[in-house]
Amino acid sequence: MNLSDQWDILSAARRTIPVPVTSLPARLGIGLKSAFLPAGISGMLERDRGSFLVTINALDPDTRQRFTLAHELGHYMLHRHLVGDGLDDDRAYRSTEAGKYHNTLIGPKEETEANKFAANLLMPREAIMRERDRLGDNVVEMARLFGVSEQAMSIRLGQPYS
């Protein structure tokens, strides 16, 4: 599957709220696994049998698992040339020594890009504007609707999180 087909799949998925993020790896041709990762590791992206595999920490809350998956898909779409054998993300979404790979090619710039990708995927601008008109700045309702944490939604809505 070429890159442009993959971007089309991602755009199409953003038209459904909550975005069906767990169905995306299969549709993009990569693997998805849920596992008990070491404490402090939220997700991994690894090369696997000619493709890639995303692993999400099964102990994390649902909304965090969705965000981690979207973040790893960001690394896959934007940084696959830097992945090497793999990368690990800690709870702050930083490549970490505590993980299996400690990929040093993935730095703060790549992490910011993957976080932006994840926010755009899970909280598409058009849908945010539409639902905000309907619900107002109700962060709790908006977070529930989009399947994200209240913190992630607050940031997306440009409100300070307390």
Q: Which residues bind Zn ion (CB under 5 A)?
A: 89, 93, 111, 114
Instruction: Name the residue whose CB lies closest to Zn ion.
Output: 89
Provide, rounded to whole angstroms, the least separation between the CB of residue 119 and Zn ion.
13
- Reported as half-sphere exposure (CB side, CA atoms, 13 A), residue 47 has a value of 11
Backbone angles phi, psi at 94, to 5 degrees: -130, 140
- Reported as half-sphere exposure (CB side, CA atoms, 13 A), residue 108 has a value of 0
Provide, rounded to whole angstroms, the least separation between the CB of residue 1 and Zn ion.
23
Backbone angles phi, psi at 46, to 5 degrees: -130, 155
Provide, rounded to whole angstroms, the least separation between the CB of residue 83 and Zn ion.
10
Tell me the β-bridge partners of 35.
Answer: 57
Between 93 and 101, CB nearer to Zn ion: 93
Radius of gyration of the chain, Cα coordinates, nearest whole angstrom: 15
Provide, rounded to whole angstroms, the least separation between the CB of residue 32 and Zn ion.
16
Between 9 and 78, CB nearer to Zn ion: 78
